[in-house]
Structures are given as C-alpha cells and as structure tokens.
Chain A
Amino acid sequence: MKRLAAIGVHAAILLAVAFALYPVLWVVSLALSPHESPGAIPWPTEPSLDAMREVVLRTDDEGRYLFLMQTGASLLVAFSTALVAILIATPAAYALSRFRFVGKDASQQALLATQMFPGVAAAIPLYLILDALGLIDHLGGLTLVYATTAVPFAIFQLKGAFDTIPRDLEEAAMVDGATPFEAFRKVVLPAARPALAVTALFAFMTAWNEFILAATFLSREEIFTLPVVLQRYVGEHRAQWGHFAAGAIVVSVPVMALFYWLQRHLVGGLTAGGVKG
C-alpha cells in the first residue's frame, strides 16, 4: 500500500515535471534545428549548433565579439540593479518593520499602489527625466530605473523578513552597548540573509528580462542588453526563430544557475514576504 502511494506520488510529480519541461525542450530543439519546426516530440533530427554559433560569435566591423560584450553589459546592469535595489530597500524596509513614524501607512500604501499601475504609460516621462539627468544611452541610467522599479517589491519582501526576526536579538545587542545601526548590521542583516538573497534574485530578474525600456533608452549596440538583442531576430518580414531560440537559451542559463544556487534560500526567503497593508 505504502509502495503504491509512493509510486502514485512520483507519477504525479513526473507528470508535472513533463509539463514544466516540455516548452523548454521545445525551445532547445528549435535552437538546434533551425531549418525545421519541432514536432510532437521535441528532439532535433539533425542537431546543429549553427544558430547558436552565429548568435554567440557575432562580431562587429572591428572584430569585437558583440554578443559577449552585450552579455557583459546585461550582467553588469542586472547585478548592479540587484545591488542598488538592496541598498535602497533594506534600510527603508527595516524602518517600516521596526519604527513608528508619521506617514508610515501612507508610504506602504503608495508602495503597493506602484505595483498596480501598468508601467507602459511611464516610458516617455521616464525618458524625459533620464534625459534631464544626462543618463540616456547609459547603463547607469538603465540600472537606476530598474533598481527603483524593483524597490517597492523588495521593500515588501524585506519588511516581511524583518518582521519575523525577533526584536529581542537587537535589544540584547543594544543592552550590550551597540548603536541601533550596529544592531541592524550585526544582528538583523545576517539573520535576514536568505530573504536578501531572494530579493536580490528578483531584482536581478527584473533587469535581466526587461526589453521595452532598454530598447528605447539604449542607442549603442555594444551596450544593448540581451533581450533587446533577441528582439532583433524577429523582424518585420522575417523571423529567425532558430537564432531567437539559441539566444534565449543563453539568456536563460544565468538565471537558471542563480535559481539553482539560491533554491534553498528561495523556500525560506519567500515565506516572509508580506503585503499586509
């Protein structure tokens, strides 16, 4: 009986795994067989790495490897976004979790509200603001925009995490002579590490996957982010799906690696996220 139940559980999970993997395999198969479209079984009959090679080893006139430079630009933007978002959000989240102050409820509601307004409407005003700051066509400007977009959700996530850390720990530290900031840095931050990691991952993904703003703001090919590069394979009359899929695989790998690396934290780090107004 127990055995039967175990088989049932594995069967159910395997079904779900098949559901989860199928589209991914389809993309892989498309990337490996650019001249035919995958059938019911996504397995390339004549696997070829041509598309992958053409995408990854693309060079410009001066023989520079464009795709590698663009990957570098994307990684730079995504990691800086994660870092800046965490730097901005952490103290604010801590204040929301621990202090009472005038305007606390209002600011929490304003943060929640930013998640509800469709972002498409903000592209042109953002362009003008960045232009005034001289940050158009600049990875720093893009990072700043992504980081601030990621901040509201990061604050919720981290506030939730700080809420679960008992105050006694900090109070004990302060009794021992620590300042509030030291207590925060030496006691609270280490305890919130899983949540910080997960929040950073989300901020990373915001930047790594965005293409509407990146396509509008960037005008030098060597600093295009990868989603913008991929978008170019879908033209007006022709779409090079094999190339698109090959690029998509390259784009997905770093995020998958981060997920794999952070998966333990992911389970612990998300629980705390609270949106309770």
Chain B
Amino acid sequence: MKRALTALALVLAGALPARAEPLRLWHAYGGAEEVALREAVRAFERETGQEVDLLAVAFGAYLAKLESAIPTGRGPDVFIDAHERLTTYVDAHLVAPYGGEVPASLEGEPLIPLRTEGRLYGLPLSLKCAALYLNDDLVPEDPGSLDALVATPVGEDRFPLVMEAENGYYVAAILHALGGELLTPTGEYDFQGPAAETTLTWLAEQVGAGRIPDEATGELVQRLFASGRAAAAISGPWLAPDLPEDLRWRVIPLPPLTAGGRPLEPYLTVEAVFAAADEARSPERVAATEALMRYLATGRGARIRAETARQVVADAAAWTSPALADDTFLRTFRAAADTARPMPTDPRMRMTFVPAQRALRRVLRGGEAPADALAASARTFADDTRPPPAERDPTLALVVFGLLLLLLVGYWVHRVRDPAVRVALLDSLPAYRWVAHAFFAVFALVILPLLVGAAVSLFAGRGRDLHYVGLANYADILTARGGDLLGDRSFYVVLGVTVLWTVLNVALHLLVGVFLALLLNRPKLRLRGVYRVLLILPWAVPSYVTALAWKGMFHRQLGAINAILEALGAEPVSWFAHFGTAFAANLATNVWLGFPFMMVVTLGALSSIPDSLYEAAQVDGATRGQRFRRITFPLLVPALAPAVVMGAVWTFNMFNVVFLVSGGEPGGSTEILVSEAYRWAFTRGQLYGYAAAYAVLIFGILALWTRATVWIGGRKERRVRRARDAAAKELATS
C-alpha cells in the first residue's frame, strides 16, 4: 500500500524513474576507505548501468539506524559491517541470506565467520586484525618477543611499546597466546583463571614500570607512535593513514609474549557486505543486489579497495596482482589474518568488552589484585546477560486497564451531566480554539511517543524480541535484582549520585550565576557589554562539542588540565580513575555549561527591581549589605525559583555531560539515572524494557519533586509577598 502511494506520488511529481530504482548502499567508512568504496561503486555503475546511492552513516548511529529503517522498508539494499554483529542482525531479521553464486576466490577462511546455522550471509570484503608497528630508527631489528621489546632501551621520555592496555580487544591477543579466551564457544564468560591473571600481571608490571603508557586510548597510541615517542605500537591497519610521511616504520605480525612461546593471537574481524532483509524485493532486484555484492568483494572492486584504501582484501585473486604482492604492509596484515582468531558472532561477545575493561582498569589504575578484579568482572557480565523475567499473561492487566478506562469515561459522563460543568465547558470553547492545534501537535509527536516508550517498560527481552512481563522490570530495579541494595549499580546508589549531582550543580550554577550577575549589574561598570557576551559563550556552543572538549582537557597525558598542574609543579591527576575526581570533572563541565543561564535570568530579575527602592533605602541610610538582604535577595528569590526548578529537572537528566565526559568511569560509579538507562538500552545488550522502566521511574521522581516544590513555593510566595508589601509600606512612609 505504502509502495503504491509512493509510486503514485512519484508519478504525480512527474519523476517516475525510467530505469530501475537505484540500489541503496550504507556504510560507516571514512577517509581513504570511503573514497575507495565510492570509486568501486562508480565503476560498478559504469559497467552495469545500475545506479547506486551511497550513504555514509556515523558509526555511533549505525545500528540504531539499521534497526529502525530496515523493518519499515526504508533501509538500504546492501550494507557494510563487521562480521561479529551478524548474529544480532540475523536475530533481529535485518539481514537476508546470500543466495547467489559464491566466487571461488572468496572460498576458504574469510567465509567461515559469515556462515551461521548452515546459511551464508554476506560476502567478505576485508580482513582486519592487530599487528606490531615498529619504528625503524628505534627498533632496527625485529624483536623475538614482547618481553624483549619492552626491555629495549629507547631513551628518556619514550616508551618501548604503546598499546590500548585497557581494551579487551587488544589484550585478548595476549590472553589467547597464553591459552585463555574472553568467551567460551558456548557463550560463557571466560576472562578468568591462570591465563587471565598472567595477562593482567604482565600488563600491570609493564604499565607500573612505565614501559607501556597508562590509560592509553587509540588517540594516544597514534600520537605517541606518530611523534616517535613510542618505539612500537600494537594496532590495526587503521593506524597507518595517520602516520606522518617522514616517519620510518614497518609492520610485523605480533610476536610471542616470551621468547619461544606461542605468538600472540589477535581477533580477526571480517568486514563484509550484507544484503538487508526485504521480503518485497523482486527477483531482479535481488539479482542486482547480489551482483553489487560480488562486484565489491572481488575483481575490480577488490583491487580498487586494496590500492586506494590499502584494505587487506579477502579476495584471493586480487593478491596475484604485482602491486599487492609487493606491498609488505598489506602482505604482513594478510599473513597476520591467517593466524588471527575470528571474533565469535555470539552477541554476548560484545558484552564481554565492558566487564573486561573494568577488570583491566581496576588492576592497572586502582592496583587491585588480578583475581579479585576478574571475579568482579565475571559478576558484571552475569548481571548484564541475565535471562529476562518470565513471560506473564497480560489478561489481568488488560482487564484492570479496561476497567480504569471505563471508570474514567464514566466519571466524565457523570461530570458532564452536571449543568455547571456543561456551562463551564461551553465557556471554555473560545479558549479551546486557541489551544487545539498545540494540543494535537504535542499529543501526537511528544506525548504519544513517550506513552509508547513508557508502555515498553512492561515488556522484557533483547532487541525487538519482547514479551509481556508485567511489573517485573520495576521489581527487578527496586530490589537491585536480588543483590545488595547499596551495591554496585543498584538503583538507589545511582539515585544517590544523581541527587548529589543535581544539588551540587544547581547550587554552583546559582552561586556563580548570581555572583557574576551582581557584579555585572554594578552601575558604573565598564566593558559590561563585552563581559556579558563573553560570559554567555558557553551557552552558545553546542554542548556535545564542549563536553568532548572538556573530556579532552581532562585527559591523563594529553589534557590541558594536567599540563597546567605540571606547569605549576603539581603531580598530574588521573582524573577518571577515582569517583571523586571523575565526578569533579563532570561537575566542572556542567557548571561551565550552565552558569550563563542562571546569570542571564538573574540579570533580568535584577533589572526589574525598581531603582526607587534602593534610592529610598539609601536615603534611610541602609548599608549595602542591608540593601542586599532586605531588597535584592527577597525580590530575586521568586524570580529565580522557576529557573531553579527547571534547571534541576534539566540537570537531573543531563545525559550529554555524564555520557561524554566521564562515561560513567570509574566502573560506572559516576553514572546518573538517565545515562544508566541508556546503558541498559544500548550497551548492555538492548534491554529496552528495563531501560524504559528506568525512564518511568525518573519521570516519577521528578514529578513528585516538582509537586513538592510547587507546594513549598506556594508557601514561600505568600511569605515573599508579605515581605514585598512591607518594603512598599516602608517606602511609602519614608
């Protein structure tokens, strides 16, 4: 039906395409990879006459976009993604099996991870895994082991090795070599036992001795290796485009940990091109889709990707070309891929990374014993992957809901029969004409989606596979899932942090905002206009930009705050390693973002206080302090009260700052309710129902709180009015 309407609309617009509709291809590539893909697609268009629309989607929005677009028929025909998300896509019915002919040059290893339950999904494009980058000047000879590498003398202010030591993706390479793993083939969490402890002990030793930098992020790895401050780096092919031309470097496969041991075994990611699920796709379109997939994966498409973007292509035939065969960089990564371990496609795989990172951080930053940190991380994983509550019969709930609805209707029928109410309703008709459009717009596009969102809290399951569970999500949250009520991640602890967060923020916003407004309001202040503009600046810059800037400023090695501290002779602080400092970092960011609003509100309120009051007080000989206490303050309070209520509601739900600055670090302790809800929905395995229950509870708390302030405010208002009347009377008598 929708399709028919769309077609009709196109005909009406006179734009009915003469040829087949373009195929839609979505990807998350940037830089040279995007250029190469574009080039390959254009070559396909020229050869087949089939048009293709390319869309580069932000990596952070990729899954959400596929999830909402494909089921409604608005998604791509073809999309590119890493193989490890395949099971998630299959479970959510987002991807269609590949039914076409499989080119012989793709057969073999790269195809294995793309098969699940006996069917082939997608064709492999490129292979990505980590290898060892070496600086030619600092490490002229290949080290036989990581132990030998970290023992290399490299001079002051340099590191023998830089790697993301807190990232399970890279650490798993060491773990695998020692016989351990993150996830068993049956989906059990396995980051524990002797291999895991040895890995952690080794990393802690190197980081402690300054041979590997602490708190290394991907950005730090790039910066240190690119600037020659690290002799070696463990990274993937994505590091190469960011290295300067004058740096002399080479790549080798990862060596063993100790001489003679098993070589490190990194994870292998097979980037593949998938066909999106679409039952309405015609056989011709399916054929065109599969032709595009084959074109990109093999032959000319593969050569373009290899030559333009230096992708390690999966197509065996491409490697016979001399350009590739002579390229040591590509050959090394191709060889590394052969010994790498394909990442399991089990959705639980991705859920091992956060607990693993927590364990690594507890050991590397907090100095905790490896065994304890690993045990704690296993508990976190178990909590994240717990089975959803049992399905319940919705009949009772439907009956209760129906009865309530009936009661409500009955109550209104009863009220309308009251003549007084009928008169009131008739009198309201003119007013309704003024509000009707706002009512319908807000109801349809604000309230309805929120109600639907709230209703999801009665369901449980992962992704779209939901079943009705009644109030079980609420019961789980309020009882801390049967765990310690004041333990890690308990609702009450997060609520406590949120309240502390809100109170401190609003207090500091008020303090800074009112103070600055009082200064700016001084009668003979010069440069007032300039100051005011500069002080409003934090408000005018988008908060997602400044939140990321603040996060960068608090960076352990690259950040400005530590640079200032060091310039002043103080020790640099590891800001996100402790609750206090991480919370302070969030707080500083949000105070910076929020004080201009309070300042402007206060300036407005100050300008509405009549000068005559101050003049009269001055005549009476009131001191400056008295004037502030008796006039300014009592008149400011009612003007600021609404702003404080609103500001508190906004701060309570200030997702951007917490999510972007501390990201909940350390160990989720600085998470507030709204970011915790987001985690349950998006990073801890798509527990949408559970997250929705969080959202409803947040709403409930705020609703109660604002009711309370309205009530208290009412009392205060009467008191303030009395104060104002008294001041006016004084004025009249003087």
Report whether A216 and B65 are in contact in the complex, using a CB–CB cutoff of 8 Å. Answer: yes
Report whether A20 and B655 are in contact in the complex, using a CB–CB cutoff of 8 Å. Answer: no
State which residues 57-95 of B face A: CB under 8 Å.
57-61, 64-65, 67-69, 72, 74
Quick one: which of B424, B441, B545, B596 has the most chain A CB within 10 A? B545
For A144, the closest partner residue in chain B by CB is B445
Out of A10, A94, A145, A271, name the residue touching B605 (CB < 8 Å): A271
Cβ of A95 < 8 Å from any Cβ of B? yes
Report whether A9 and B519 are in contact in the complex, using a CB–CB cutoff of 8 Å. Answer: yes
Report the Cα distance A212→B56, complex, angstroms: 15
Given A23-B553, A267-B603: A251 and B446 interface contact (C-beta under 8 Å): no
Cβ of A52 < 8 Å from any Cβ of B? no
Report whether B59 and A103 are in contact in the complex, using a CB–CB cutoff of 8 Å. Answer: no
Contacting chain B: which of A117-125, A166-174, A185-193?
A117-125
For A126, the closest partner residue in chain B by CB is B449
State which residues 122-169 of A face B: CB under 8 Å.
122-129, 131, 134, 136-137, 144-145, 147-149, 151-152, 155-156, 160
Out of A118, A124, A148, A236, name the residue touching B677 (CB < 8 Å): A118
Given A23-B553, A122-B452: A114 and B540 interface contact (C-beta under 8 Å): no
Query: 1/0 per position for A230-263, CB-CB distance to B under 8 A?
Result: 1111111111110011001001100110111001
Cβ of A72 < 8 Å from any Cβ of B? no
Given A40-B563, A145-B445, A271-B605: A241 and B244 interface contact (C-beta under 8 Å): no
Out of B42, B58, B431, B604, name the residue touching A268 (CB < 8 Å): B604
Report whether A212 and B435 are in contact in the complex, using a CB–CB cutoff of 8 Å. Answer: no
Cβ of B389 < 8 Å from any Cβ of A? no
Report the Cα distance A277→B710, complex, angstroms: 7
Q: For A95, what are the chain B residues with a Cβ–Cβ distance below 8 Å? A: 431, 434-435
State which residues 189-235 of A face B: CB under 8 Å.
208-209, 211-212, 215-216, 219-221, 227-228, 230-235
Cβ of B503 < 8 Å from any Cβ of A? no
Given A118-B677, A241-B552: A27 and B545 interface contact (C-beta under 8 Å): yes
Report whether B442 and A151 are in contact in the complex, using a CB–CB cutoff of 8 Å. Answer: yes
Cβ of B421 < 8 Å from any Cβ of A? yes
Report whether B28 and A37 are in contact in the complex, using a CB–CB cutoff of 8 Å. Answer: no
Report the Cα distance A127→B444, complex, angstroms: 12
Cβ of B404 < 8 Å from any Cβ of A? no
- B608, chain A: closest CB distance, angstroms: 6
Given A121-B456, A238-B218: A116 and B703 interface contact (C-beta under 8 Å): yes
Q: For B535, what are the chain A residues with a Cβ–Cβ distance below 8 Å? A: 13, 16-17, 20
Quick one: which of A94, A151, A209, A267 has the most chain B CB within 10 A? A267
Report the Cα distance A238→B239, complex, angstroms: 8
Report whether B600 and A102 are in contact in the complex, using a CB–CB cutoff of 8 Å. Answer: no
Query: 1/0 per position for B577-615, CB-CB distance to A under 8 A?
Result: 000000000000000100010001101110110000000
Report whether B677 and A35 are in contact in the complex, using a CB–CB cutoff of 8 Å. Answer: no
Report the Cα distance A35→B430, complex, angstroms: 64
Q: For A38, what are the chain B residues with a Cβ–Cβ distance below 8 Å? A: 560
Report the Cα distance A179→B138, complex, angstroms: 86
Cβ of A115 < 8 Å from any Cβ of B? yes
Report whether B74 and A219 are in contact in the complex, using a CB–CB cutoff of 8 Å. Answer: yes
Report the Cα distance A88→B443, complex, angstroms: 13
Quick one: which of A124, A160, A273 has the most chain B CB within 10 A? A124
Report the Cα distance A38→B549, complex, angstroms: 11
For A95, the closest partner residue in chain B by CB is B434
Report the Cα distance A111→B430, complex, angstroms: 21
Report whether A231 and B58 are in contact in the complex, using a CB–CB cutoff of 8 Å. Answer: yes
Report the Cα distance A155→B242, complex, angstroms: 50
Report the Cα distance A101→B442, complex, angstroms: 19
Report whether A255 and B542 are in contact in the complex, using a CB–CB cutoff of 8 Å. Answer: yes
Report the Cα distance A91→B527, complex, angstroms: 39
Given A129-B448, A244-B548: A271 and B438 interface contact (C-beta under 8 Å): no
Chain B contact patch, size range: 35 or more
Q: For A248, what are the chain B residues with a Cβ–Cβ distance below 8 Å? A: 541-542, 545
Out of B28, B449, B596, name the residue touching A235 (CB < 8 Å): B28
Query: 1/0 per position for B18-44, CB-CB distance to A under 8 A?
Result: 000000101010110000001000100
Q: For B553, what are the chain A residues with a Cβ–Cβ distance below 8 Å? A: 23, 26
Q: For A271, what are the chain B residues with a Cβ–Cβ distance below 8 Å? A: 601, 604-605, 607-608, 639
Cβ of A49 < 8 Å from any Cβ of B? no
For B54, the closest partner residue in chain A by CB is A221
For B608, the closest partner residue in chain A by CB is A271
Report whether A122 and B450 are in contact in the complex, using a CB–CB cutoff of 8 Å. Answer: yes
Given A237-B238, A276-B713: A267 and B607 interface contact (C-beta under 8 Å): yes
For A208, the closest partner residue in chain B by CB is B542
Cβ of A63 < 8 Å from any Cβ of B? no
Report the Cα distance A235→B82, complex, angstroms: 14
Out of A37, A102, A152, name the residue touching B446 (CB < 8 Å): A152
Report whether B534 and A17 are in contact in the complex, using a CB–CB cutoff of 8 Å. Answer: yes
- A258, chain B: closest CB distance, angstroms: 8
- B273, chain A: closest CB distance, angstroms: 17
Report the Cα distance A274→B684, complex, angstroms: 39
Report whether B431 and A100 are in contact in the complex, using a CB–CB cutoff of 8 Å. Answer: yes
Q: For B277, what are the chain A residues with a Cβ–Cβ distance below 8 Å? A: none
Cβ of A266 < 8 Å from any Cβ of B? yes
- B371, chain A: closest CB distance, angstroms: 32
Quick one: which of B5, B26, B450 has the most chain A CB within 10 A? B450
Cβ of A113 < 8 Å from any Cβ of B? yes
- A267, chain B: closest CB distance, angstroms: 5
Q: For B536, what are the chain A residues with a Cβ–Cβ distance below 8 Å? A: 259, 263, 266
State which residues 391-426 of B face A: CB under 8 Å.
421, 424-425
Q: For B601, what are the chain A residues with a Cβ–Cβ distance below 8 Å? A: 270-271, 273
State which residues 516-534 of B face A: CB under 8 Å.
516, 519-520, 522, 524-525, 527, 531-534
- A232, chain B: closest CB distance, angstroms: 5
For B75, the closest partner residue in chain A by CB is A219
Cβ of A177 < 8 Å from any Cβ of B? no
State which residues 66-87 of A face B: CB under 8 Å.
none
Q: For B543, what are the chain A residues with a Cβ–Cβ distance below 8 Å? A: 209
Out of B236, B425, B542, B677, name the residue touching A227 (CB < 8 Å): B542
Q: For B174, what are the chain A residues with a Cβ–Cβ distance below 8 Å? A: none
Cβ of B681 < 8 Å from any Cβ of A? yes
State which residues 80-138 of B face A: CB under 8 Å.
none
Report the Cα distance A255→B540, complex, angstroms: 6
30 contacts between A and B (CB under 8 A): A13-B520, A23-B549, A27-B541, A30-B552, A40-B567, A42-B560, A95-B434, A99-B431, A100-B431, A101-B432, A103-B428, A114-B450, A115-B650, A116-B706, A117-B695, A119-B450, A121-B454, A122-B450, A122-B453, A129-B444, A134-B5, A219-B26, A228-B58, A235-B28, A245-B549, A255-B541, A256-B540, A269-B604, A274-B642, A276-B710
Q: Pick the 6 closest A-B CB pairs, nearest first.
A: A271-B604, A121-B453, A101-B428, A92-B438, A215-B61, A95-B434
B-to-A contact residues, CB < 8 Å: 2, 5-6, 24, 26, 28, 30-31, 38, 42, 53-61, 64-65, 67-69, 72, 74, 218-219, 222-223, 226, 236, 238, 241-242, 244, 421, 424-425, 427-428, 430-432, 434-435, 437-439, 441-442, 444-450, 452-454, 456, 512, 515-516, 519-520, 522, 524-525, 527, 531-546, 548-550, 552-553, 558, 560, 563-564, 566-567, 592, 596, 600-601, 603-605, 607-608, 639, 641-643, 645-646, 649-650, 653, 655, 674, 677-678, 681, 691-692, 695, 698-699, 702-703, 706-707, 710, 713
A-to-B contact residues, CB < 8 Å: 6, 9-10, 12-13, 16-17, 19-24, 26-27, 30, 35, 37-40, 42, 61, 88-89, 91-92, 94-96, 99-104, 107, 110-129, 131, 134, 136-137, 144-145, 147-149, 151-152, 155-156, 160, 180, 208-209, 211-212, 215-216, 219-221, 227-228, 230-241, 244-245, 248, 251-252, 255-256, 258-260, 263, 266-271, 273-277
Q: A23-B553, A256-B537 are in contact. List 17 more A-B contacts (CB 8 A).
A: A13-B516, A26-B553, A91-B434, A92-B439, A116-B699, A117-B453, A125-B448, A126-B449, A149-B445, A151-B438, A215-B57, A235-B28, A238-B31, A238-B218, A256-B541, A269-B604, A270-B600
